[in-house]
């Protein structure tokens, strides 16, 4: 679409807002670190946790000067790159990491006990996980490539592949951080004026397949529906990492409750699905199982703030299963400033999201390529965090849930829309950034909540 004049008021008609992002003692000899800001809800102070992480450019703490702006103009300030969540890197041989000595096998039919016992004897191994005709094996003597060769020679096998590892990709509401105008992300995509059309509905469910969610967080506990812990096979998907809680808060942190942050939607429910370990990684099997569980238990939208650079048949099957069941799938493009296709974002059934910074430019860490569909804010996004805290994080992991929240609002406005129609509305109403039309950095452009909801036939 052509560019048009759009005004974004951040916290009303104000000339400038000084937002103090961080104070820390920095070692000038270090060029690898990250600053994570956590706002303690009890004493209203920021806690700064500095850890090593690759960063380029201006990474020192700074003061951002965010003006009430007209879209297309630069938002004043110095961007501190904070790609807090990264995908697993390619190796020199263009492979992704996987659990060694393990293999994921899809049989043409469910193997019986006799067949399994014979296989275990031949590979000197164990069954780690078993779901219908899909089995994860571990060998005590064979490598993963050797296991794949073994199973591919069997006529009973549909496919065999490594058990890949996926990593995280990190109104006038009276919520504290929104009122204090820390949440630059919501006004810039016209969320508040979009709420005039709909604020969401409780029967539209957005699944977050991630590290779980802090089930006791005051800004989230009333927004949750029944979830699932894939890792421990129980119904207690509590977050032991923080990433999933942050993603969930961007989507549906309780709004207008005088607590911390405002979410994209006031009333949509979050379905927490824990498919990633406390270290921030998950296997193909667990994530695919999490997607399938979410579909089978009524998810209307699934957010996947995670990725890997290696295609997986098992993951693709899970994605296709969700799409065939009319679920809208949203995924982060990744944080390596790379054009390598990342999965599941680049599957055709998935809406892939890149990240923008305060200047409306592609965030310096954001992956890009012809598979990117739209862009959303992804730098210093305040949200909920585990242990009932708040954090400002950056990454395409933070951009993706903005789009998932918008998909939930669209389905709230008209639940009869197909997933394809929801995706088309999001893309067609996006505000064009970069070269005119579709491009590799922003896809169709920055999501526009108001325009998207106006394009929906309200039901």
Per-residue pLDDT tens digits for 97-126: 788 889 999 999 999 999 999 999 999 999
The superfamily CATH assigns to domain 102-163 is: Peptidase S8 propeptide/proteinase inhibitor I9 (3.30.70.80)
Tell me the C-alpha distance between 189 and 177, whole Å: 17
* pLDDT confidence bin for 398, thresholds 50/70/90: very high
Report the candidate in 46, 6, 147, 19 with the shortest Cα–Cα distance to residue 389: 46
The one-character DSSP state at 361 is: S
Domain positions in the chain are 102-163, 166-454
> How many residues are given for the chain?
459
Query: Which residues form the catalytic set?
Result: 210, 243, 397
For the chain, the average pLDDT equals: 78
Which burial class, exposed, middle or buried, applies to 258 when counting CB atoms under 10 A from its CB (0-12, 13-18, 19+)? exposed
Quick one: which H or E segment has residue 61? none
Report the candidate in 175, 154, 61, 169 with the shortest Cα–Cα distance to residue 109: 154
| Longest alpha-carbon distance in the chain | 74
Per-residue pLDDT tens digits for 184-206: 899 899 998 999 999 999 999 99
- Segment 408-428 mean pLDDT: 98
- For 190, other C-beta atoms within 10 Å of its C-beta total 22
pLDDT at 40: 32
Fold of 166-454: Rossmann fold (3.40.50)
Structure tokens, 54: 């690759």
- For 424, other C-beta atoms within 10 Å of its C-beta total 13
Per-residue pLDDT tens digits for 68-88: 333 333 322 222 222 333 333
Task: Report CA torsion sign: 318, 323, 325, 330.
Answer: positive
pLDDT at 31: 26
Tell me the C-alpha distance between 264 and 406, whole Å: 7
Tell me the range of 82-96, 180-194, 218-232, 375-389 where mean pLDDT is highest.
218-232
Concatenating the DSSP letter of every residue in 278-332 gives: TTSEEEHHHHHHHHHHHHHTT-SEEEE-EEBSS--HHHHHHHHHHHHTT-EEEEE
């Amino acid at each position: 679409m052509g560019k048009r004049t759009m005004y974004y008021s951040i916290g009303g008609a104000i000339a400038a807002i000084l937002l103090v992002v961080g104070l820390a003692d920095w070692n000038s000899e270090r060029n690898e670190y990250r600053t994570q800001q956590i706002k303690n809800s009890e004493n209203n102070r920021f806690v700064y946790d500095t850890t090593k992480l690759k960063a380029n450019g201006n990474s020192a703490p700074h003061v951002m000067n965010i003006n009430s702006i007209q879209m297309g103009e630069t938002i004043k300030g110095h961007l501190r790159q904070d790609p807090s969540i990264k995908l697993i890197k390619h190796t020199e041989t263009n492979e992704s990491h996987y659990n060694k000595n393990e293999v994921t096998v899809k049989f043409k039919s469910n193997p019986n006990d006799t067949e399994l016992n014979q296989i275990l004897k031949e590979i000197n191994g164990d069954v780690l996980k078993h779901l219908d005709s899909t089995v994860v094996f571990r060998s005590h003597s064979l490598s993963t490539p050797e296991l794949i060769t073994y199973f591919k020679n069997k006529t009973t096998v549909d496919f065999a592949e490594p058990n890949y590892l996926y990593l995280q990709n990190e109104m006038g509401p009276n919520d504290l951080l929104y009122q204090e105008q820390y949440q630059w992300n919501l006004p810039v995509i016209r969320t508040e004026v979009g709420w005039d059309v709909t604020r969401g509905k409780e029967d539209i469910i957005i699944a977050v397949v991630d590290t779980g969610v802090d089930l006791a967080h005051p800004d989230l506990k009333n927004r949750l529906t029944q979830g699932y812990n894939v890792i421990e096979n129980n119904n207690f998907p509590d977050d032991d990492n923080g990433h999933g809680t942050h993603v969930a808060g961007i989507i549906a942190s309780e709004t207008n409750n005088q607590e911390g942050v405002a979410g994209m939607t006031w009333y949509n429910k979050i379905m927490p699905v824990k498919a990633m370990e406390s270290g921030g990684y998950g296997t193909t099997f667990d994530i695919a199982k999490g997607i399938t569980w979410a579909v089978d238990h009524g998810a209307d939208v699934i957010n996947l703030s995670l990725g890997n650079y290696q295609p997986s048949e098992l993951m693709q099957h899970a994605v296709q299963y969700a799409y065939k069941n009319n679920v809208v799938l949203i995924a982060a493009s990744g944080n390596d400033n790379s054009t390598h296709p990342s999965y599941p974002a680049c599957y055709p059934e998935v809406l892939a999201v890149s990240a923008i910074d305060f200047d409306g430019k592609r965030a310096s860490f954001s992956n890009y390529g012809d598979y990117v569909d739209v862009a959303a804010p992804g730098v210093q996004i305040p949200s909920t965090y585990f242990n009932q805290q708040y954090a400002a994080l950056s990454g395409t992991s933070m951009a993706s849930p903005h789009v998932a929240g918008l998909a939930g609002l669209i389905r709230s406005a008209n639940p009869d829309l197909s997933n394809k129609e929801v995706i088309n509305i999001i893309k067609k109403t996006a505000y064009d950034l970069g070269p005119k039309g579709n491009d590799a950095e922003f896809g169709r452009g920055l999501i526009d909540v108001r325009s998207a909801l106006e394009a929906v036939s309200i039901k």
